[in-house]
A and B are shown apart, each in its own frame.
Chain A
């Protein structure tokens, strides 16, 4: 009786979710039409594809490490301390999250045309059309995401733990090291994995700053773009399947990192 009365509500919950799942399955499943194992293996053996894979994974690792390394102290500060202008700063640091990556890439190029940028260029930090440019573009896009994720992580840790640690003899630094950091460990790992995955998939800013030179600055996403621009479907499908596998691995890794937490 109650089941029948609840049926419209249950359907209202189930139908949208089922529709969305079906749509995603259609997108992923459509690759099967164009996918061939022989072409996949052949493409993987090509030096320029291998270069794109190595560059994507390597640059994403460096940019995610940089982003998380900077975001840990920054996010802790924003989560724990009150200071004048904090809300303004917090909002300002969110800008890269909402700004389109193409615009971020353009901003990097323009900044490197200012005296400060030219000075950095003279000091060896050349970004346009270089691997350093790929890393800089990815870092610019993911740093704010890392900051946001880690701020939430630190906010979820009760400051009472640190306070008790202080009364037990810890300085502010040692209570952070002995209590807060271990408690934030899974959150930091999850933030690293998610920013790394976002960096692997980054396209707009990377193309603007580093271009798409095959075997040099072409990453997996920009290689997909290049392949589609010349209707090279086997190559595009190979790269998409690769990204799908990486994404699946990332999602599993995040679930493992966060354990049973929702």
Chain B
């Protein structure tokens, strides 16, 4: 559907790429990255609104690098939506379909479908778009983008200005659009929750480069570099030294916290590595229950030094005995209430081998 090969671009002192990326028909890819990472520049180059310095872009196996934007048939929902203020809601929605001179019966059929899907009935007759609410504007902009039947839909932080409830409704609509209408979507966001909720695949972009592209769990639990791990809010990162590497890919690490991890392929004894675990993967051992074999490798006594509540979860900061290492442990509220921990309480924690990721220390810039 879309294939990007070694694409680079420059905007002032900013350099994008080289980027290699592909997205199959009907897929949903989110590009996740901090502000200023170059996500919008990448979209603009793919749309033909900005010029590529090098590289190639393929759309449905046709090279599109030099095609003008109007011939690429990629719909675009920018962050500010850019609804045309001089046109009515209906004229905004019909703008692209009329410009592409679609047959009236085709327009009517699609309009009826989108009116139902996006709940446009109450707003389509409005004479101006300027009085619409944020959520209504999003739905009108989506309808305008989808009505001409684009081969791809690009979304650039479309929900950043919306409150949580409306944002969730529209995120569900987007999944419907992707699954029911079969629209291929490339969605750019800095919101990690949104990226993981919507993207079948996720590409992490930092400082103009794609640092990792993969499925949700791979990105979440197996960051490819320290930069990705830090961006994805891996709070528990330790710098340790490899003592032994086993034939099964496991390794024994020494340093501030002795650990046994797996997935050490390519790492040699004596090398310094970064080891991490997500806070919700840290296991609290309950004294009244037996300990599973997979928890025996990395079992530690600890003490609660801080507790923070975040809506549905609580994060305990625990200091591991005799090490000076502090780890965050995230618990759902029900588990937190059951365990009843307070600051100063002692507990035992375990770090499963399979929950730990290990990276060479020089992996910040792959």
Contacts and interface: CB of A to CB of B under 8 A. Distances in A.
Interface in B70-105: 70, 72, 74-76, 78, 80, 82, 84-86, 95-96, 99-100
A167 B80 contact: no
B75 A167 contact: yes
Interface string A160-174: 110111111111101
A158 B144 contact: no
A73 B74 CA distance: 28
B70 A167 contact: yes
Given A160-B80, A171-B68, A165 B86 contact: no
A178 B70 CA distance: 14
B96 A168 contact: yes
A161 B70 CA distance: 14
A182 interface: yes
B85 A167 contact: no
Given A169-B99, A170-B99, A182 B86 contact: yes
A114 to B, nearest CB: 42
Nearest to A168: B96
Contact of B82 (A163, A170, A171, A178): A163
A181 B148 CA distance: 23
A174 B76 CA distance: 18
A160 B83 CA distance: 10
A174 B70 CA distance: 11
B48 interface: yes
Contacts of A168: 70, 75, 95-96, 99-100, 144-145, 148
A158 B80 contact: yes
Nearest to A175: B70
Contact of B100 (A166, A169, A172, A179): A169
A17 B76 CA distance: 49
B145 to A, nearest CB: 8
B148 to A, nearest CB: 6
Contacts of B82: 158, 160-161, 163-164
B85 A166 contact: no
B68 A166 contact: yes
B263 interface: no
Given A160-B80, A179-B84, A183-B86, A171 B49 contact: no
Interface string B259-275: 00000000000000000
B258 interface: no
A88 B49 CA distance: 26
Interface string B140-166: 000011001000000000000000000
A165 B48 CA distance: 12
Contacts of A171: 68, 70
A164 B78 contact: yes
Nearest to B86: A182
A146 B70 CA distance: 32
Nearest to A157: B85
Contacts of A164: 76, 78, 82
A166 B49 CA distance: 8
A172 B68 CA distance: 9
Nearest to B50: A163
Contacts of B78: 160, 163-164
Nearest to A166: B69
Interface of B: 44, 47-49, 68-70, 72, 74-76, 78, 80, 82, 84-86, 95-96, 99-100, 144-145, 148
Interface of A: 158, 160-161, 163-172, 174, 178-179, 182-183, 185
Given A163-B82, A167-B75, 9 more contacts: A158-B82, A166-B68, A168-B75, A168-B95, A168-B100, A169-B148, A170-B70, A171-B68, A185-B86
27 contacts: A158-B80, A158-B82, A160-B78, A160-B80, A161-B82, A163-B44, A163-B78, A163-B82, A164-B82, A165-B99, A166-B70, A167-B70, A167-B75, A167-B76, A167-B96, A167-B145, A168-B75, A168-B145, A169-B96, A169-B100, A169-B148, A170-B70, A170-B99, A172-B68, A178-B95, A179-B86, A185-B86
5 closest A-B pairs by beta carbon, nearest first, are: A168-B96, A169-B99, A166-B69, A167-B76, A160-B82
